Structure 1
Amino acid sequence: MTDNADQKKLVDLLDDMPIAMLTTYGAEGARSVPMARQEVEPSAEMWFISARDTLHTRAIEQNPSVSLTFSARDAWVAVSGTAAVVDDDAKLKELWNTFAEAWLPGGPEDPNAVLVRVDIEHGEYWDTPGGKVASLISFAKTKLTGDTYDADHGEVDV
């Protein structure tokens, strides 16, 4: 990634954002679904547990370009990259959790359970440090002065 400080900030923000909207671009067009992020590697790799028989896994196999958006109360992250459907039993067992079990009750041994790995190519974040109060103050400042909203913004490229 281009800037180590921006890369660290993006990864740190993602620690508090476990759910993403995954957008795929398959034969049916763009489609977004919520996905629970299992892991973010500092090397710009994300892991998700999915069902093999879904529209989004089929779309990834047709076109591996994806976008992911994350949101928290006072921060937002958008990343794009290349996804792959991965059959790796050891990694699937390592990442397995009760949340995944709600969607795939057969456990990691379920033949429909599969991993989706996203290799991030570009990321962007917006952060309003200080939470809700700081956001309200910044918003009031923009209304009074006409300046733009104060948010910490950065971009990273792999």
Structure 2
Amino acid sequence: MTTDDDRGTVAEIMKETRIAVLTYVSIEGSLVSTPMGMQDFEDPATTWFITERSSDKVRAIEADPRVNVSYSSKAGWVSLSGTAHVSDDRAKLQELWDASAGAFMSGGPEDPDNVLLRIEGDTAEYWENPGKVAAAVQMAKGLVTDSELDLGDNDTVQL
């Protein structure tokens, strides 16, 4: 059962992540992972990235929109599974455009090749980081006693 606390944990991890990793199915059927600069999300169920329409990534996603986005921060890790949609929403693109987008993208938000990927999440699996000291203690305990490590809480959230 998903709680507001679970969604809050997922949101915290996602907000603290600067670079997420988008995994999609290529036209040839292979899994491809690529780093994507974090832009914004309304809540964990809807995230946004800026990309180029002319990219292989967009062609592949238009053919098979199933994606996974992984997030990693000091707070933990999230694996978000969902569906990607290519969006030409110029107002949203203008809202999300920042210096980092300008550094990686040619043109600006008015360039027709610059588009948005809206990820509609279905589920998010998360692992909450227990902190550096707790992780070090667990690692040492596992090495000495051959016991199973406790590296934090893990759960799946329906979005």
Q: Deviations over 1:89-129 (max 9, x none)?
A: 00000000011111223110111100000001011111223
Q: Which moved further from structure 2: 62-71 or 86-95?
A: 62-71
**TM-score for the superposition, normalised by structure 2:** 0.90
Aligned 8 A contact 2:22 2:67 in 1? yes
Aligned runs of 1:97-112 on 2, under 5 Å?
Answer: 97-112=98-113
Do 2:82 and 2:119's aligned partners in 1 also have CA atoms closer than 8 Å?
yes
Please say if residues 62 and 86 of structure 2, whose CA atoms lie closer than 8 Å, have aligned partners that are also in contact: yes
Match of 2:89 in 1: 88
Change in Cα spacing, 1:10 to 1:109, as seen in structure 2 (3 Å) is same
1:26 alignment partner in structure 2: 26
1:53 aligns with 54
Unaligned runs of 5+ in 1: none
Deviation of the 1:19 alpha carbon: 1.0
- Report the alpha carbon displacement of residue 71 of structure 1 after superposing the two structures with TM: 2.1
For 2:39, the equivalent position in structure 1 comes to 38
75-84 or 132-141, which deviates more = 132-141
* Aligned residues between the structures: 157
Q: Is the 8 A contact 1:104 1:110 kept in 2?
A: no
Structure 1 partner of 2:79: 78
Mapped to 2, the partners of 1:52 and 1:14 lie a distance apart of 25
How many percent identity over aligned positions? 42
* Structure 2 gaps, min length 5: none
Give the deviation of 1:157 after TM superposition.
1.3
Three-state SS of the structure 1 residue aligned to 2:109 is: helix
TM (norm. structure 1) is 0.91
Cα-to-partner distance string for 1:121-157 (whole Å, 9 max, x where unaligned) = 0111112232x22211111122334432221212101
Q: What residue in structure 2 maps to residue 156 of structure 1?
A: 157
